[in-house]
Structure 1
Amino acid sequence: MNIPSEFDPIRPFTPEELPAVYDRLLADPQFQQVITSLFPGVSLEDLGKKMKSCKTNLEFQKAFCYPVLQDLIHKASFGCSMDASSVNINHRYTFVSNHRDIVLDSALLDKLLLDVGFSTTCEIAIGDNLLTIPWVKDLVRINKSFTVERALHAVEMYKASKRMSEYMHFVISEKNENVWIAQREGRSKDSTDNTQAAILKMMVMGGEGSIIDRLAALHIVPLTISYEYDPCDYLKAREFQLKRDVPFWKKTPGDDIESMSVGIKGFKGHIQYHCAPCINDWLRKLNASTPKNQLFDSIAKYIDTQIHYNYRLYPGNYVALDMLQGNKEHDDMYSPKQRSIFEQYINGQLAKIDIENKDEKFLRECLLNQYANPVKNYYNARDAESSRLKSLMSKLTFKF
């Protein structure tokens, strides 16, 4: 396929580029350590031969990424499933999801798309702040990732955003691939998942026609990712206190590496992915003359409602809400044993936080909010969806 050269700085590697990248990776000592630890008992030579037999990115994903993820699910979770009943596996979509884990959100989506019958995986939007290590950058580009350029000046940022938007449209319309992008820049630290209108504004910088036409061309599917336990919850709570107490505190590349490692290795309980219907039918009913900012806000709110409404709530989510509120309003959603297990879990995560002037009351509240907020969001989404359906019913005209 002829890919415009303007996309070269951000796109994944093409099949023709893979052999040279394989050689570069296999010569890197850090990558050698990682790959041999993931496939114990297999020599580096045999791994190299297997790698070089993969002629496409998808073949590499099936040969290397899929079995690693399968093993990870077995060791670090109670299982991982996906409800894709609202989408057509023969179509291509832009999956817009909430964001919990730096690595696994998109990696597990790739595996699950194959499991439910898609013939391909998806191209993944990943921030360049996570690509400071050369072999990691090579690996993710093999794994069909494209780069989100950040920390640029205004003019450069505009150009970068436009190029990324045009590339996403190219992926859907020309490459016939899926796309994954988070609903906001960075992970939600308190599990309040709100779509940034800026993401939608970026999407319409490419394509043709009206705002609605351009978004419809991307076939957006709101995707809900639900982890029963977030291994990084204590790191997020720690970050809240550091931001509160330390002037101008900012994460370092080392913090991101720690989050990646903890997120991958830590226990996650049950994992559920849920696809809402593609929003195109809903988009087409909007008034195209609506002021732009109001239109973007309406679309973002609709995506939020779909993501929140489809969140899989676990007993711990209800326990967290009751613990925060100091009552047992939701005790019909969990047993005494489940409450005890969750309370012990929170205490264990709190004990992992090692910082100066540790504010245990504040940190506990941060941890509990991460699990309680999805319940609050679900209730709000349920009410919004109920109001929307009532409004639709009231507008129906019956003719006899």
Structure 2
Amino acid sequence: MDIHQFDAIRPFEPSELPEVFDRLLQNEQFLQVLAYLYPGVPKEAIGMKMHQCRTNLDFQKAFCYDFLKNLLAKASLGITADFHNIDIKKRHTFVSNHRDIVLDSALLHFELIDAGSDTTTEIAIGDNLLKLPWVKDIVRLNKSFIVERSLPMRQMLMASKRLSDYMHFVIAEKNDNVWIAQREGRAKNSDDRTQEAILKMMTMGGEGTIAERLKALHIVPLAISYEFDPCDWLKAREMQLRRDVADWKKGPMDDVISMQTGIMGYKGHIHYHSAPCIDQWIDSLPADMSKTDFYAAVAQHIDHEIWRGYRLYPSNYVALDLLRGNNDMASHYTEADRTAFEKYLKGQLAKINDLPNADTAFLRERMLEMYANPAINQLSVV
């Protein structure tokens, strides 16, 4: 395959980086971001460091890694990862639940580097997040490829085929990993379920049967667990707006606010857990399964592996008891945990102060569901 057939969606190639660096260093908004991230550091010094990066991975290690390290020190109680189920020297497509617009893949990269991997992943990112040209430059610099979303049906099919071809190209020919969320958009209520449409897209590329095409991507279900989701109040607010306002649509700044809040907000403990690659499991399926049953079975298997991989925190168990009005999970938390979570919940709900008719009972229940659902789902498969 020729890489140029993917020019519209692929990350930048190493030969393109110097030009991209120069373009970014002339962009006022990007320079404002740099001034915020590196107060007092002359742009010439940053430019020099950028130009020393020969590959996208060099850029991730030189800039993204340290940014994430500092961020985790300020906005979390630390991150852990468990990759014991896979060989990180081999190439995989990580399919994860979607907790944070920016950090899901970024923190995976951070942990892969710490675990000794010789690469990170190429990231599937929706074009709805790339309204600003300099943001598009940054994500393509950061090994992202673009998922085109708002297209007419005929173009959508062609775009899906190209996307699938590209994912197969990354694994087979570029010898890199891929990260993609299990669904389009975050699960607002943390009830994480794989969209079969994502799996169908993956089998548009590659060769052989649909099972062989999925196996060629070496899918690894990846569970991401946050003790606290800084966007919980924003998600609850959006749920009330969707309930109350006919045809409510997100504004142009909503995703930006979610990205900012998700990155900078407090997360408590964070854990990443890789399930085994599903190739062997696919081999165990009956050869005469219908396509419909095959996609349903694979989606359910990925879901169950993600649910099993969650790390549950006192916040999850307290939320489940508060939601159900009982103390069935009390052995998993202390009275102090319960008091602390109720205080946290109250503080987050207080942030929703711009809704003229804030339905506190509804908002509280939605937030409790966000924390309870990982526990509900894990308990259903363990």
TM-score for both structures, normalised by structure 2: 0.99
Q: Which residue of 2 aligns with 1:166?
A: 165
Q: What amino acid is the match of 2:59?
A: F
- Deviation of 1:252 (Å): 1.9
Q: Which residue of 2 aligns with 1:359?
A: 359
Q: Which residue of 1 aligns with 2:268?
A: 269
1:368 aligned onto 2:368:
yes
SS of 1:185's partner is: coil
Structure-1 separation of matches of 2:224 and 2:37: 25
- Deviation of 1:33 (Å): 1.1
SS of 1:146's partner is: strand
Give the share of equivalent positions with the same residue, in percent: 60
Aligned ranges 1:321-336 → 2 under 5 Å? 321-336=320-335
Aligned ranges 1:40-79 → 2 under 5 Å? 40-79=39-78
Q: Which residue of 1 aligns with 2:187?
A: 188
Q: What amino acid is the match of 1:34?
A: V
Which consecutive unaligned segments of at least 5 residues does structure 1 have? 383-400
Farther-moved stretch of structure 1 (361-370 vs 39-48):
39-48
SS of 2:173's partner is: helix
Structure-2 separation of matches of 1:287 and 1:132: 45
Please give the per-residue CA displacement for 1:189-237, whole angstroms capped at 9, x wherever unaligned.
Answer: 0000000000000000000000110000000000000000000000000
Q: What amino acid is the match of 1:378?
A: Q
Which consecutive unaligned segments of at least 5 residues does structure 2 have? none
- Whether the 8 Å contact between 1:130 and 1:253 is mirrored in structure 2 is no
Q: Which residue of 2 aligns with 1:117?
A: 116
Q: Which residue of 1 aligns with 2:294?
A: 295
Structure-1 separation of matches of 2:174 and 2:186: 28
Q: Which residue of 2 aligns with 1:380?
A: 380
- Deviation of 1:40 (Å): 2.5
SS of 1:13's partner is: coil
Structure-2 separation of matches of 1:69 and 1:3: 34
- Deviation of 1:3 (Å): 4.1
- Deviation of 1:256 (Å): 0.2
Structure-2 separation of matches of 1:138 and 1:96: 24
Structure-1 separation of matches of 2:267 and 2:147: 27
Q: What amino acid is the match of 2:187?
A: S
**Residue-pair matches, total:** 381
Aligned ranges 1:227-246 → 2 under 5 Å? 227-246=226-245
Q: Which residue of 1 aligns with 2:133?
A: 134
Structure-1 separation of matches of 2:108 and 2:174: 19
- Deviation of 1:6 (Å): 1.4
Q: Which residue of 2 aligns with 1:222?
A: 221
Q: What amino acid is the match of 2:240?
A: Q
Structure-1 separation of matches of 2:45 and 2:279: 47
Q: Which residue of 2 aligns with 1:204?
A: 203
Q: What amino acid is the match of 2:365?
A: E
Q: Which residue of 1 aligns with 2:145?
A: 146
- Whether the 8 Å contact between 1:204 and 1:215 is mirrored in structure 2 is yes
Q: What amino acid is the match of 1:230?
A: D
Structure-1 separation of matches of 2:136 and 2:200: 27
- Deviation of 1:310 (Å): 0.8
- Whether the 8 Å contact between 1:193 and 1:304 is mirrored in structure 2 is yes
Q: Which residue of 1 aligns with 2:305?
A: 306
- Deviation of 1:182 (Å): 0.2
Q: What amino acid is the match of 2:5?
A: E
Aligned ranges 1:16-95 → 2 under 5 Å? 16-95=15-94
Structure-1 separation of matches of 2:269 and 2:217: 30
- Deviation of 1:174 (Å): 0.3
Structure-1 separation of matches of 2:227 and 2:35: 30
Q: What amino acid is the match of 2:169?
A: F
- Deviating above 6 A after TM superposition, structure 1's stretches of 4 or more consecutive aligned residues are none
- Deviation of 1:253 (Å): 2.3
Structure-2 separation of matches of 1:293 and 1:118: 36
SS of 1:207's partner is: coil
Q: What amino acid is the match of 2:53?
A: C
SS of 1:175's partner is: coil
Aligned ranges 1:253-264 → 2 under 5 Å? 253-264=252-263
Structure-1 separation of matches of 2:3 and 2:135: 24
SS of 1:253's partner is: coil
Please give the per-residue CA displacement for 1:326-365, whole angstroms capped at 9, x wherever unaligned.
Answer: 1111111001111100000000000001212110000000
TM-score for both structures, normalised by structure 1: 0.94
Q: What amino acid is the match of 1:376?
A: I
SS of 1:224's partner is: strand
- Deviation of 1:39 (Å): 2.0
